[in-house]
Amino acid sequence: MNYFVINKPSNLVLTVVSLKYSPADTKVEKFISASDRAISTLDKWMLNNPGLLIDVGDLMSRSEYTADCVVLSRSDKSQSPASVPQRHYYREEQVEKSLDRSTTVSNWIAHHPDADVHDLSEFFGMGLVAAKAYLVKYR
């Protein structure tokens, strides 16, 4: 039988495992039975979003088979989920633009032409000798 491995703190689907027995939940991981159609929905999403993990609620909103598996695996079957699972929209990881210190200092000197050694030293937290060397180099 196939199972989704869910990380309990984050509610993310980590992987799918195939086991002959019903696994016991741990403090960190929960196991939910997975149908072939639910796994194909997960596979399709993972092909379009490499390197990302999907929230189980998002997967439930994309596949009624996953929703059925989650609801049927609940210990309290008298209550149905209070709301419809919501989709989460992911964006690509934002790459932080970082300049090296030399470029940053030269840009600051260009924008502050009347700055002296003490201004540069105070703004960047550098020594007076280093500030003087930057001023000589970039003026």
* Residue ranges in the chain modelled with pLDDT below 50: 77
Buried b (16+ CB within 10 A) or exposed e, 34-53: beeebbebbeebeeeeeeeb
Q: What pLDDT does 72 receive? A: 61
Q: What pLDDT does 79 receive? A: 52
Angle of helix 128-138 versus helix 101-111 axis, rounded to 10 = 70
Question: Measuring CA to CA, which residue among 94, 87, 36, 42 is closest to residue 61?
Answer: 87
Q: What pLDDT does 90 receive? A: 58
Gap between the Cα atoms of 97 and 54, Å rounded: 27
Q: Summarize pLDDT for 58-98 with one digit per residue, the tens.
A: 888 887 777 666 666 555 545 555 555 566 655 666 666 77
